[in-house]
Amino acid sequence: MRKPLIAANWKMNMLRWEAEELARSFLEKVPDLTEYTDVVLIPPYTVLDVVKGVIDGTNVKLGAQNVFWEEKGAFTGEISPGMLKDSGCEWVIVGHSERRHVLGETDDMVKKKARAALDYGLNVIVCVGETLEERESGKHIKIITGQVEIALSDLELETPHSLVIAYEPVWAIGTGKHATPDEANDVQGTIREITGNIFGDKATDVRIIYGGSVTPDNIKELIGESHIDGALVGGAGLKAESLAEIVKLSGE
């Protein structure tokens, strides 16, 4: 049985005082939450320490939004997996569509990041997803298959529950238009098949989650009517009330 995962990607938001207030207020609203759901807060690097200070001693985990694949050296502006662990992170996102589309991250880079992070003992959320144009032209399954196959190639999967694939259709991110349970199911099925081909029995424990305009109003429909194992939440994760509501509803 895979435990649901709700991860809140705060993207490039939250000054220090805002991060502290949000994390505190969220915790107050869901005091004993992680019996039934894994919860990860993923703030910008600059406030990792602030959020860590608030969630220390609780079941809520800390994550980062990106990582570089080298351990250390002359890579100005990059952050290594070891640095993330040193900052208290147990999770990291790789291959978010904003990094792919705004910053030109390639499938090959995503693969290197996923591998380095897993090798370092971080839990990894690998993001994949198609653009509107790719979906409308019927290419989405092919695109997602390519993204997943490249990202997971050469991975040694010692602990399958450390790997999460997030299906985040680009057209659903920040648009208020979420995938239907059928659409999410369809892609989830493809990803499940690919992970099965690559990892065999171990793939059963790999979680496949959905992201893109997830809110308290649609989380039950999405989780209840599909086989997805949780959500990667953007905008709704920037408010304590909505994030708490999503977490509670995901466990019902």
Instruction: Using CB under 6 A, list all residues that contact ligand 13P.
Output: 9, 96, 168, 173-174, 211-214, 232-236
Asked whether 113 and 100 are in contact (CB, 8 A), the reply is: no
Q: Tell the smallest beta-carbon distance from residue 179 to ligand 13P (Å).
A: 11
Backbone dihedral angles phi then psi of residue 92, each to the nearest 5 degrees? -150, 145
Asked whether 225 and 252 are in contact (CB, 8 A), the reply is: no
Q: Tell the smallest beta-carbon distance from residue 197 to ligand 13P (Å).
A: 26
**Is 96 part of the annotated catalytic residue set?**
yes
* Structure tokens given for 114: 């996923």
Q: Tell the smallest beta-carbon distance from residue 57 to ligand 13P (Å).
A: 26
Q: How many other C-beta atoms are found inside a 10 Å radius of the C-beta of residue 49?
A: 14
Q: Tell the smallest beta-carbon distance from residue 11 to ligand 13P (Å).
A: 7
SS3 214: coil
Looking at beta carbons, which residue is closest to ligand 13P? 234
Pick 177 or 227: Cβ nearer ligand 13P: 177
Specify the residue for token string 């290419």.
139
Q: Tell the smallest beta-carbon distance from residue 121 to ligand 13P (Å).
A: 23
Pick 66 or 199: Cβ nearer ligand 13P: 66
Specify the residue for token string 């910053």.
103
Q: What gap in Å lies between CA 111 and CA 126, rounded to an integer?
A: 9
Asked whether 42 and 10 are in contact (CB, 8 A), the reply is: yes
Q: Which residue among 96, 98, 134, 140 is the active-site one?
A: 96
The β-bridge relationship of strands 163-167 and 91-94 is unpaired
Q: How many other C-beta atoms are found inside a 10 Å radius of the C-beta of residue 235?
A: 18
Pick 191 or 199: Cβ nearer ligand 13P: 191
Pick 9 or 185: Cβ nearer ligand 13P: 9
Amino acid in position 22: L
SS3 237: helix
Q: Which residue among 98, 168, 178, 245 is the active-site one?
A: 168
Pick 40 or 55: Cβ nearer ligand 13P: 40
Residues marked as catalytic: 96, 168
